[in-house]
Every structure is written in C-alpha cells, then in structure tokens.
Structure 1
Amino acid sequence: MNISNKPDPAGKAGTTPDLAAILAQAGGTKKRSRRLVWPLALLLVLGGGYGAYSYFSGSGPRYEYTTEALKNSDLNVIVTATGSVQPTDQVDVSSELSGTVRQVNVTYNSAVKAGDVLLELDTNKQEADVQSARAQLASAKANVLKADAELSSAKVSLDRLTNLVNSRISSQQDLDSARYAYESAAATKSVNEASVLSAEASLRLAEVNLSKLKVVSPIDGVVLTRDVDPGATVASSLNAPVLFTIAGDLKRMELQVSVDEADVGQVREGLDATFSVDAYPNQKFPAKIESVRFASETVNNVVTYKAILTVDNADLLLRPGMTATSDITVKSRNNTLLVPNAALRYSPPMQQSARGGNPLTRLFSPPRPPRGGSRQADAGAQRDGSRVVWVLRDGAPVRARIMTGATDGRFTSVKSGELKEGDLVITDATARNG
C-alpha cells in the first residue's frame, strides 16, 4: 500500500509565516528609528552648546573674600622658654664633726646673718680634749725650762773643765765628757721646744673642734630647709648630711630657663623679658638676661642652653623653685606697617587659569577644585626675596609686591612695597554658587 503526504494548501496559508511580510515590517521599524535619532542628537548638541557657553562665558561660583585692614603698630619677636625661680646665692650647711645635737636655734624661714649660730652639738668630749691639750702644752713648756737649766749647768761644767785642762789639772777625757753632756742638754732643749710647738698646735686644733660644735650661718639670708632636731646624732663623713639650706637675699633672685638650640642664636645678654608663674597667672614680672651659658643640656634628645635672668623681688612675691614661663623679646619694631601672616599664605582661586587653553580640552577635562587661601605654603614667596599679597580694591583682588622683615608668627613687618595703612589684604576666599 502506497501512502503519499501532500502539503495542505490551507495549512500553508494559516500556519507558515510569510517571509516577505516579515522583511517589510523590519524595514518599517528601521525607518522609524532613524526618524527618532536625529531629534535626540539635535537636543544633545543644543544642550552641550548652552553648557559650553555658560562655562566659557564666566558664569560659575563667585567668591566672598575675608580681609583685614593694614595698620601701623609695634611688633615684638618673642622667644619663649621655661624654667624656675632660684635664689642668687644658696648654701647647704653641714657639720664637720660628729656628735649629739644639743640645741637648734633656727627653723624654717628664719632670717639669719653670717656667723649666727644655727645648731649646737654636745661639747663634753671636745672640752676634755681642750683641757688635755692645754696640760700637754704646760708639760712641754716645763720640760723646756728643765732642759734650759740642764743646758746652763752643762755649759758651766764645760767652761770649768776647759780651764782645768788648759792648766793641766784635769784630763782631756774629762773635758770630752763635759762637752758631750753640754751638747746632749742642748739637744734635749731643742726637742722640748718642738714638743711645745706640737702641744700648742694640738691645743689650737682642740679649740677649733670645740668651736665647730656650733654650726654657724656662712651668709646672710633665710633658712629654706631644716633637717635636724635636738637629740639627733650627727655623723660626719665625706658626704656629710645637709642640716640646713640657706638662701641669700630673696629680694633679688634669678630665673633659670632652658632655651631651645633653635632659638639660642637670637638670645643674648641684656635683652628684656617678662615671665609669669602659676601663683600669679595674671601678673607679668620683668627680667633681664644676665648670661647665656655655653654648656648644653640634653634631655630626651632635646638640646637646650641655660639662660640666667635677673629678677627684682622687692615685694617677696616670688619664692625659690617656682615654675616660670618667660617671653624674651629678641627683636622689636615700633610703629611699623604690619601684614597678617595669613595674607602671605593666601593665593587666589585658580578659576580663570582653569579656563585657559584649548576649548575642547576644557570641555572634556574634569574640573579642577579651586585653590583658596587655606593653603599652608608660602604662596606669595618670590625668587628675589619679595612677597606677594592680594589686596581687595573695588571688589576685586589686586596683586601687590612687598619686602618683609621680622615676624612674631602672626604678623610680619613690611619694609617696603605697594601697601599702605588701611589697605584691605585678603586672607581667605569662600566659593559661593549663583
């Protein structure tokens, strides 16, 4: 049996897509897409052109300027150093002898004169030593008298025997014995005289030791510390304990400060200074530099040099050991034109510079952030040593060149240039849109 499959005309018309119809439909879609692209491109071109016009025509952020008026004033360049107030003279007093403290005559803050007795030790042993030395001296002197008498007797015997020998009454041997006795008596006298000198020295030493049992003040001043009480035992040694600390006249003191090695080149003798202490925070005390020591001091790898300042303390407000902070005036300028250091650091925003160059480059390059007066570098420094500041005139910044002098960290003196008192120098700028 033969079976044949024939295409169904009805199925051809109802189920199989017409290729020509599909192609015709696709062609219509492309034509509609082309009609939509050209209007969109036109809108983009118009929008970009307007944006470019707005950008290049100068519209953008505006700036509000912070200014400060220049004025003539005094400028003081200050070096700050810390230290402490100390007496001009200070002495530690100890005892040269050991003994028991019998009496203490002073206490803290006692005013003393040179030679005043501060402390007395027990004197029994030293008084006995003095009496013994005196007895030894008396004995030595008696021995000298005895030796002198013996010497006189020997001299008489020698003279008599000499005459007898000359008269051939006595022998030469008797004369030699008499001469030996005389010379021996003379030597004994010399020994006894030396013993007198030794006894006198021993007596003086005993008397000195007795006097040292009274510890006296070596200077006029005030007792700062007292580290002994009656009944205590004092032991003398190579490192004798300090019994009293006495400061000289407290009406004239000194301030010892440590000057950093970076500042010591500016500090010299005769400079004026002021200082304050914690006890009187609202009061400034005057001082003057007396000396700057050459020897360095290193603490935690920081090198400093000691400066000594004289201080008048007639009111006795200052006390030894007070911590002080001093301001040393190393330079002074009177009635000079001052410019704030913030104006020296300021440079205008780079708005106009950012718009220079090729237009296409400006259009497609990302915008640069503006650089204002907050920059910390010395924006106005020039190769010839001059500085540039910006002055606000008629609402616009104007460049001005100046030569500067001393600075105190906040203001700088103007030696010459294109500025005058009353000019408004720009210290900062703030962008304001619109």
Structure 2
Amino acid sequence: MTQQGSLPDSAIAQQIDLTGRPASHRRRWLWFAGLTVLGLVLAAVAFMSTRPADRASFKTAEVKRGELTIRVTATGQLQPVTQVDVGTEVSGTIQAVEVDFNDRVKQGQVLARLDPDQSQAKERQSAAALELAKAQVDEAQATVNETANKLRRTTDLMGRRLASPEELDTASAAAERAAAALAVARAKVDQAQAQLDADRRTLHKTTIRSPIDGIVLKRDVEPGQTVAASLQTPVLFTLAENLTQMELKVAVDEADVGQVNEGQKAIFTVDAYPARTFPATITQVRFAPETVNGVVTFGALLAVDNVDLSLRPGMTATAEILVHEEDDLLLVPNTALRFTPPQARSEQAGPNLLGMLLPRPPRSPKRQPEAGARTGKSGRVWILRDGEPTAVEIKTGLTDGVVTQVLGDGLAPGVQVLVDVERAGRKS
C-alpha cells in the first residue's frame, strides 16, 4: 500500500537500471569506454606511422666530371638576305608576262610589258612639240638678225644725220624685243625636250625589268590585268637575290637575350627535315623589343648556308643557340636535386596522426635553377650511408636543365646520389 506524496514505482525504476545501479554511473562508464577505444585507435595509428617503411631500393646516378653545354632555344622564320618587290610606276594594261614562279632572272631582264600605245602617242606628241619649238627658235633668230641689221643701218644713218633719234630708239627697241623672243623660243625648246624625255622614260617603264639577279618568289600579275599606279605603286613580282645564302630571324625571350651575342654558333631544325640539323651564326641582336600578347622578345638574325636550296623562305625553324660551353665541371643530375626519400618526406609531414592534424608553417617550394644561371645557391642531394639515405648540402652553379654544376667540396666524382625509389616487388 502506498502513502500519499510518495513516488510511483515507474519513476523509481527510471532512476535505477536493471543491475540496480543509478543512470549516472552508467553514463560515466560509457565515457570511460569511449576514451579507451579512442586511445587504442590513436596508439595503433601512431604505431603504424612509426613502423619502418616497406623495404625500398633506390635508383642512383653517378656524380661525374664532364662538359656542360648551355643553349638558348628560340623560334623564327627563314627569309632571303635580300628580297625586292618589283612594281610599276605606270598605269595601264598588262600586255605580256615573261617570267613565272621560281624562274631565275638576270638584272635588266624583262619581267612583264604594259600596253605601250598611249605612252608612244605621248612620246610622239612631245617630239612634235620639240620640233615646233626648234622652228620657233629659228624664226626668232631670223628676227634677231633682221632687227640687228636695221639697228646697225639706223645707227650709221644717225651718224650722217640722215636718221632721227626717234628712229634709232625704235630700231634699238625692236632689236631688244627680238633678242627676248629668241630667249623665250630657246626656253620652249628646253621645255619641250624635258617633256619628251619624261614621255620617253614613261614609255621605257612600260617594260618592267628585274633590278637584281635572283629568283622569282611571287608573281601577282596576269596578262590583260589593269594596274593603276596613281596612289600607290602596285607590287607585281617579289624577287630574292640569292637563296644559297639566307637568314633566320628568331624571337629571343627577354630572360635569355642577355646571354645571346653576335658571333655565337647555333643549330636549327625545320619541320620539313625533322632528322636534319642546320648550322647558323648569330649576325645581329636587335635592341628594339617586340611585344606580342604581353610577351616581350628581341629579334636576332642568324646567317644560314643553303647551297643545296633545301631551305625555303617562310619555313618555321627552331634554333638552339650555344651561349656557354665549359669542360671539366663536376656535374650532378637535376633529378637528384629534386629527389627526397619517402622517410624524409614522412618526417617532414609529421611522425603521427597528431602531427598531421596540427597546423604547420608553409614550406617554400624547392626551385630548380634556370638553365644557364650561375646561381651559387644551396641545394640538397641524398646518398646512402650504412644503407640509410643521408642528405648532403651542396652549392649549385651552371645548369642546362638536365645536369647542374656542383661548386665547392660537397661531392666528389664517382659518388652515387639517389634519384628515385623503387619498392620491393615493383618491377622497374
């Protein structure tokens, strides 16, 4: 029997579990069990992270003394040393075209002819005008002679008091006018002669001739075509003086132009002959920059021998310019400078899960020296000592992107440096 104000049986059951323990004791036991499991997990992770890595064998490369050749790569196009555009200063209709593509021409050889009818008509008109002017000179000369004789007679009569002073003045003025008319007539002869010369030159220009010995690269005209030279001289032919000597114009990156100088040797390839290399020599490095899409380059010209005429204008070429060559240097492969053993990487990452979870200061990326730079900066390679990878600090010098010069006494020839890792069971 229950008393008034006492707890019901269900409420008492909620405070005591089936084992007779209060609920608070059960919660503490669950917390303790969870922490124990977490500790076991962390211990297992720590144990796994500190276990020695799978047995690994390392690939090595030998530190050697040898020659270091540094080249700067640039691309460009082949072009003739001398290229001439041939046009016309005379408007008219093309009557005949005497040459075609690839024809060899001599200086003065006829390339094309314009219809000369109009120019010939002007030349005949000018010749007639010249003859007319010469006739006028003869007429003026006769007038001069006549007035001179009359002046002489009037002067003689004046001396004998048979002519008045007015008659003498009239005769003198007539002689002067005749002399002036003769001068005008002679000037008209010179003018007519100049016009005739100009018309003859125009007639001569209706025959288009080659200004050089060379080869026809382009022909932009056909018989019957009308050309107008009133505003701009139209280009009819493009000639190359000598294709046995060509030049290669390349664009050198602004980061490399300080290493490129006149007289340096180079080799280049073209897509038409991928297995063949051609020699060249730097003849000019231009000061004027060329900017394309924000990229700054400087033009360089290379002299090229093309005796067999295998190279053609406009071909795209990739050149390698020899900017530095030095022998008997201590060299280490660049792969060794980039390599870090797995154990060292794991130590850098942290020895356990806690180390991986905790924040670390950012590490600067390892940069490889640019080709050609004598940096003298610090580098690191790894060697095996007692079967364990050991870091060796070195100073780096010149590099060609494949091997790098070692400065100082950090390494010696014959030392094997680590370049890669190969785990047991993995086939190389």
| TM range, smaller chain | 0.7 to 0.9
Q: Where does residue 34 of structure 1 map in the other structure? A: none
> Is the contact between residue 376 and residue 397 of structure 2 (CA under 8 Å) also seen in structure 1?
no
Q: 1:63 to 1:294 in 2, by over 3 A?
A: farther
TM-superposed deviation, 1:379: 9.4
Q: Where does residue 78 of structure 1 map in the other structure? A: 71
Letter in 1 for 2:260: V
The residue matched to 1:317 in structure 2 has which SS?
coil
Residues of 1 paired with 2:153 and 2:350: CA distance?
140
| CA deviation map 1:101-127 (0-9, x unaligned) | 222110000001121110011112222
The residue matched to 1:417 in structure 2 has which SS?
coil
Residues of 2 paired with 1:104 and 1:53: CA distance?
91
TM-superposed deviation, 1:86: 0.8
Q: CA RMSD of the aligned region, Å?
A: 3.8
TM-superposed deviation, 1:384: 8.0
- Is 1:425 aligned to residue 414 of structure 2? no
Residues of 1 paired with 2:404 and 2:368: CA distance?
15
- Is 1:397 aligned to residue 401 of structure 2? no
Q: Where does residue 145 of structure 1 map in the other structure? A: 138
Q: Where does residue 337 of structure 1 map in the other structure? A: 330
Letter in 1 for 2:153: R
Residues of 2 paired with 1:301 and 1:51: CA distance?
56
Residues of 1 paired with 2:376 and 2:189: CA distance?
90
- Is 1:194 aligned to residue 195 of structure 2? no
TM-superposed deviation, 1:73: 2.8
- State the number of aligned residues: 390
Q: Where does residue 101 of structure 1 map in the other structure? A: 94
Residues of 2 paired with 1:405 and 1:387: CA distance?
10
Q: Where does residue 13 of structure 1 map in the other structure? A: none
TM-superposed deviation, 1:258: 1.4
Letter in 2 for 1:293: R
Could you tell me which runs of 5 or more consecutive residues in structure 1 were left unpaired when the two chains were aligned: 1-6, 8-22, 28-39, 357-361, 370-374
Q: Where does residue 152 of structure 2 map in the other structure? A: 159
TM-superposed deviation, 1:208: 0.5
Residues of 2 paired with 1:324 and 1:140: CA distance?
64
Q: 1:150 to 1:26 in 2, by over 3 A?
A: closer
Q: Where does residue 266 of structure 1 map in the other structure? A: 259
- Is 1:326 aligned to residue 319 of structure 2? yes
1:34-433 superposed matches below 5 A: 60-61=52-53, 64=56, 65-348=58-341, 349=344, 365-366=354-355, 377-378=366-367, 385-429=377-421
TM-score by length of 2: 0.80
Letter in 1 for 2:100: T
Q: Where does residue 30 of structure 1 map in the other structure? A: none
The residue matched to 2:201 in structure 1 has which SS?
helix
Residues of 1 paired with 2:304 and 2:65: CA distance?
32
Q: 1:93 to 1:61 in 2, by over 3 A?
A: same
Letter in 2 for 1:413: Q
Give % identity. 44
Could you tell me which runs of 5 or more consecutive residues in structure 2 were left unpaired when the two chains were aligned: 2-15, 21-32, 359-363, 370-374
TM-superposed deviation, 1:222: 0.5
> Is the contact between residue 347 and residue 379 of structure 1 (CA under 8 Å) also seen in structure 2?
no
Q: Where does residue 6 of structure 2 map in the other structure? A: none
> Is the contact between residue 401 and residue 417 of structure 1 (CA under 8 Å) also seen in structure 2?
no
* Larger Rg belongs to: 1
TM-superposed deviation, 1:430: 5.9
Q: Where does residue 37 of structure 1 map in the other structure? A: none
Residues of 2 paired with 1:231 and 1:355: CA distance?
85
Residues of 1 paired with 2:311 and 2:320: CA distance?
17
Q: 1:156 to 1:330 in 2, by over 3 A?
A: same
Q: 1:117 to 1:350 in 2, by over 3 A?
A: closer
Q: Where does residue 25 of structure 2 map in the other structure? A: none
Q: 1:246 to 1:138 in 2, by over 3 A?
A: same
Residues of 1 paired with 2:299 and 2:346: CA distance?
52
Q: Where does residue 18 of structure 1 map in the other structure? A: none
Q: 1:268 to 1:63 in 2, by over 3 A?
A: farther
Comparing 128-137 with 58-67, greater Cα deviation is found at 58-67
TM-superposed deviation, 1:283: 0.7
TM-superposed deviation, 1:212: 0.2
Residues of 2 paired with 1:299 and 1:71: CA distance?
42
